[in-house]
Amino acid sequence: MYEIKGYSNRVLEIDLTHKSWQVSNISREDRQNYMGGKGLGMKLLYDRLEPGVDPLGKDNILVVMPGVLTGTGAPCSGRFQAISKSPLTNIIATASCGGPFGLHLKTAGYGALIIKGRSEDRCMVYFDHENVEFRDAQNIWGLDTEEAQRIMAPEAKKEAALVIGPAGENLVRFANISSGHRFLGRGGLGAVMGSKNLKGVVAAGRHYKIVPANDRKFQKVKKKANLFIKRDSFSNSMGKFGTAANVKFVNKAKMLPVWNYFFGDHDQALRISGEMIQKHHGTTPHTCKPCTIMCGHKGHFNGDITSVPEYETLTLLGSNIGVFDRDAIARFNDICNKMGMDTISAGGTLAWVMEALEKGFLDRKLMESEDMDLRFGFSNGIEKALDSIAHCRGFGSEMAMGSRSLSQKYGGRDFAMQVKGLEMAGYDPRGAYGLGLAYAVANRGACHLSASIMAFEVFLGLLKPDTTRGKPEFVKFVEDITCGVNALQTCQFTMYAYTLEPFLTKYTPDFVLKKLMYLVPSVAISLMDFSLYPDLFSSVTGIKCSSKDFLRAGERIHVLERYMNTREGISSRDDVLPDRVLMETIAGDEKKRMVPLNKMIGKYYRLRGYDKNGVPGKSLLGKLKIPSVPSRV
């Protein structure tokens, strides 16, 4: 077995049109400025992707990046990123996955995988550390993600696959990509693969051992990181109940999506909580590897052992369509997983259809003719609808385009719960104004992971939810640190332990933290210790990185993504929220809250250095060392 000291700068570039491949290199400057994962993948895409290309055309490019920490055994480091142009949003899409493909890609000796072109026939790609094979995929076309992986990568210890299911093959705009039992979930990257006639990619790894550049320092930092995770209460809650632990907090805060975000809580909500799932379904860990937090679980549903639905699935394919039956939601989840579809966009689209039927924007006779009874609170028609979407049958072919497309065609834009074409995650921003700002300005659309500020607002109670003060500052800060975390590629859930367990934050009284965060957010931010992240990066790579360097890299990555989006036409007019959360209150909300977006967004632009149209100018790009003209490869 060979050794890689920290990271590999070898890029495997595959051209499906010509069935050819080559190996290129990542410059040290790009490695230092963009680190790895999302950041470096974004830069590789920027240097190759022309603005305006059709996301489903042969000129779109898919970049897959292992993390800097992948293969080192660092806590929660078994993740990788994919970046492309989204067929759902028509802007840049990024997705993170905890499946095994990233490790096998890196231990095959590659620091990145780039896929371009389009195959004339249905194919799959198989590669190891020295060769690439283009194989016929006709016999596996049409198989679900589980069956395809079993056939494509039968030696699980030596191989790992990226595969699409029928949804990706049929170009469902929110199709995802599977690796093991995890998914590159958002933005329709599965449709990008399907448009290239690519069923899957198999990496045969385990040829290289990943060795930190400074192993002594790495082991010391790793030990500290594990200690922080083990004593952090939020991490412990995730380990015990999974992401479903969020249900009770969000329901109590009246920001649980119910009936297409019409209500913010429900008396049956706790039926889908992590506590109830653990009690009734015999859950055990089923996680990314390696993992210390252990948020993923499997359990007994419908007479079988299957993955416990994540919080987003429990809400978007549960409470948001009025369903609180755990077994039913698990069935919906299994269908989406096997077909290869994002559960958030699927649930958000179905909720729009249900409301559109209620309000007469759609003809219920059409649904009845296709044997799809789609009504809030009824689960009978959901499985048929999901299958119709995945195979683009009947009205399923229109639902496969997502809620924005449907509302543009039939009306009902005010209750299409999406931003920039991406369906909203399972937190109603009327209960946390900072989250509302984060949704509106997030680069990939209504994404809760771009800046998970609701953790400060709701879970930790450090920022008052229904105020605008301090929110622009904290949204920017969390966006920057999140981009840094996704460039390392470690789990975002480590942010709770790594930032709240250091001495200064841990032992500062909560009332003092609250005062600082509310009155002088810049001071509160300056006191936050996230040094574990740059310490992990420098110990693995041997590249010097301070906390300031780390945060600046995160800012650079975020601004580059924004700049790429503005080249696709994005501006301030797109940084909006659905009318429902801007002009309607949550049903029964005594505070009558609506998101005061206009009070926050101007200051956010100023903090970012954007112009009044939300566009980063040449001076900002120069300051961040982002070339305004990419280095075409």
Q: Kindly indicate the confidence band of residue 274, based on its pLDDT and cuts at 50, 70 and 90.
A: very high
Report whether pLDDT(374) > 80.
yes
In sequence order, what DSSP letters do the residues of 121-147 get, joined into one string? S-EEEEE-SS-EEEEE-TTTTT--HHH
Rounded-to-integer distance, Cα 44 and Cα 24, Å: 11
Which structure tokens are listed for 302? Answer: 């419908």
Q: Kindly indicate the confidence band of residue 367, based on its pLDDT and cuts at 50, 70 and 90.
A: confident
Report whether pLDDT(491) > 80.
yes
Nearest Cα to Cα of residue 105 among 156, 64, 152, 68: 64
Report whether pLDDT(242) > 80.
yes
Rounded-to-integer distance, Cα 129 and Cα 143, Å: 28
Query: DSSP letter at 188?
Result: S
Protein fold of 252-411: 1.10.569
| Range 552-580 average pLDDT | 98
Nearest Cα to Cα of residue 171 among 401, 421, 386: 401
Report whether pLDDT(464) > 90.
yes
Domain 2-211 matching CATH 3.20.20.80: the answer reads no
CATH of domain 428-623: 1.10.599.10
539, exposed or middle or buried, with CB in 10 Å at 0-12, 13-18, 19+?
buried
Q: State the span(s) of the chain assigned CATH 1.10.599.10.
A: 428-623
Q: Kindly indicate the confidence band of residue 59, based on its pLDDT and cuts at 50, 70 and 90.
A: very high
Q: Kindly indicate the confidence band of residue 633, based on its pLDDT and cuts at 50, 70 and 90.
A: low
> Residue 295: which residues within 8 A CB-CB, separation 6 or more?
238, 239, 242, 243, 287, 493
Which structure tokens are listed for 477? Answer: 């800060």
> Residue 465: which residues within 8 A CB-CB, separation 6 or more?
253, 431, 432, 433, 434, 457, 458
pLDDT at 285: 87
pTM for this one? Answer: 0.97
| Range 567-583 average pLDDT | 98
At 280-328, the pLDDT tens digits run: 999 998 988 889 898 999 999 999 999 999 999 999 999 999 999 999 9
Exposure string (b/e) for 483-498, b if CB count within 10 Å is 16 or more? bbbbbbbbbbbbbbbb
Number of C-beta neighbours around residue 527 at 10 A: 13
pLDDT at 629: 83
**CA end-to-end distance (rounded Å), the chain:** 32
Q: State the span(s) of the chain assigned CATH 3.60.9.10.
A: 2-211
At 184-218, the pLDDT tens digits run: 999 999 999 999 999 999 999 999 999 999 999 99
- Of the ranges 31-45, 128-142, 231-245, 414-428, which one carries the lowest mean pLDDT score? 231-245
59, exposed or middle or buried, with CB in 10 Å at 0-12, 13-18, 19+?
middle
